[in-house]
Amino acid sequence: MERRIFGLENEYGVTCTLRGQRRLSPDEVARYLFRRVVSWGRSSNVFLENGARLYLDVGSHPEYATPECDSISDLVAHDKAGERILEHLLLSAEQRLREEGIRGVIYLFKNNTDSAGNSYGCHENYLTSRRDDFGHYAEVLIPFFVTRQIYAGAGKVLQTARGAMFCISQRAEHIWEGVSSATTRSRPIINTRDEPHADAERFRRLHVIVGDSNMSEYASFLKVGATSILLRMLEDPAAVLRDMTLENPIRAIREISHDTTCRRRVRLANGREASAL
């Protein structure tokens, strides 16, 4: 792939509180946030001047999808622009609350899980060739995505029967399959929904939903950049890749997330063991 197209989609969490008490429901917060958008776009689902898409997703989550980019630097810049755009909407919404005499502070969260245990996503998109063997891609990419969290995970505090523990990845606890067409109920590492948004006879869109939302531009660059490098290796017929197929990817992604030393060894399908490092 000489010119790869990239895209990122981030769903944001929202709340409005006063002294620790919730003042508005997520639906109400979303309506205040998007009132300015609806006033000029006549919809809560709009394309912006920079080519990005901004809309309300299921569960009253504001979602910002970057424009299609052929440079990872541009992609990260547009992802950061999404944060600034939503910040402006937040300030406008809080001003409207004050005008209406409603006391409270609106919070936007660029994360992937809330206190009730719900999860919402950061989706990565990569243009690939339709000619390539998708099954082989999945075999190689799944171990990579399972272990990539050690440098691309956003971190979270997980409540367990033994008490609170810090985890590397926010999404790891919510992944249940290696490959499938689902995105919400039985979330996979790689989503197989075939929507290339390009010439369907030539191209495929690799849709990755296992990653965390990143505040750090460096983490975002590394997350997408490392994936792009591996895709180039997969596209090179001369590249020889070791078989790192995992015995149980879903168990492995959780075991690695729970180990902040990054030394936890997980079992491969061939009986060997290896750490994420």
Tens of pLDDT along the chain (277 residues) come to 889 999 999 999 999 999 989 999 999 999 999 999 999 889 999 999 999 999 999 889 999 999 999 999 999 999 999 999 999 999 999 999 999 999 999 999 999 999 888 999 999 999 999 999 888 999 999 999 999 999 999 999 998 888 999 999 999 999 999 998 766 667 899 988 889 999 999 999 999 999 999 999 999 999 999 999 999 999 999 999 999 999 999 999 999 999 999 999 999 999 999 999 9
Report if residue 115 sits inside a domain.
no
Q: Which residue shows structure tokens 């929202």?
A: 14
Work out the burial of residue 23: count CB atoms within 10 Å of its CB; fewer than 13 is exposed, 13-18 middle, 19 or more buried: middle
Q: Name the domain boundary from 80, 110, 140.
A: 110
Same domain assignment for residues 62 and 149: no
**Tokens at residue 164, please?**
């609170």
Buried-state track 156-174, b at ≥16 Cβ within 10 A, e below 16: bebeeeeeeeebbbbbbbb
Same domain assignment for residues 52 and 1: yes
The amino acid that residue 67 corresponds to is P
Q: What is the pTM of this model?
A: 0.93
Same domain assignment for residues 79 and 148: no
Report if residue 120 sits inside a domain.
no
pLDDT at 185: 65
Report if residue 118 sits inside a domain.
no
Tell me whether strands 188-191 and 177-180 are parallel, antiparallel or unpaired.
parallel
Same domain assignment for residues 193 and 224: yes
- Domain that residue 190 falls in: 130-276
Report if residue 154 sits inside a domain.
yes
Report if residue 160 sits inside a domain.
yes
Same domain assignment for residues 153 and 253: yes
Q: Name the domain boundary from 110, 141, 174.
A: 110
* Cα three-residue angle 219-87-107, rounded to 5 degrees: 90
Q: Are 112 and 212 in contact (CB under 8 A)?
A: yes
Report if residue 185 sits inside a domain.
yes
Same domain assignment for residues 158 and 255: yes
Same domain assignment for residues 269 and 169: yes
Q: How many domains does the chain have?
A: 2
Same domain assignment for residues 138 and 261: yes
The CATH number that applies at residue 59 is: 3.30.70
Same domain assignment for residues 85 and 153: no
Same domain assignment for residues 39 and 90: yes
Q: Give the active site residues.
A: 57
Count the alpha carbons within 13 Å of 106 in the hemisphere toward its beta carbon.
29
Q: Name the domain boundary from 77, 110, 143.
A: 110
Report if residue 117 sits inside a domain.
no
Same domain assignment for residues 68 and 202: no
Strands (E), the chain: 6-11, 13-18, 21-24, 45-47, 53-57, 61-65, 105-109, 122-129, 156-160, 163-167, 177-180, 188-191, 203-208, 265-267, 273-275
Same domain assignment for residues 153 and 16: no
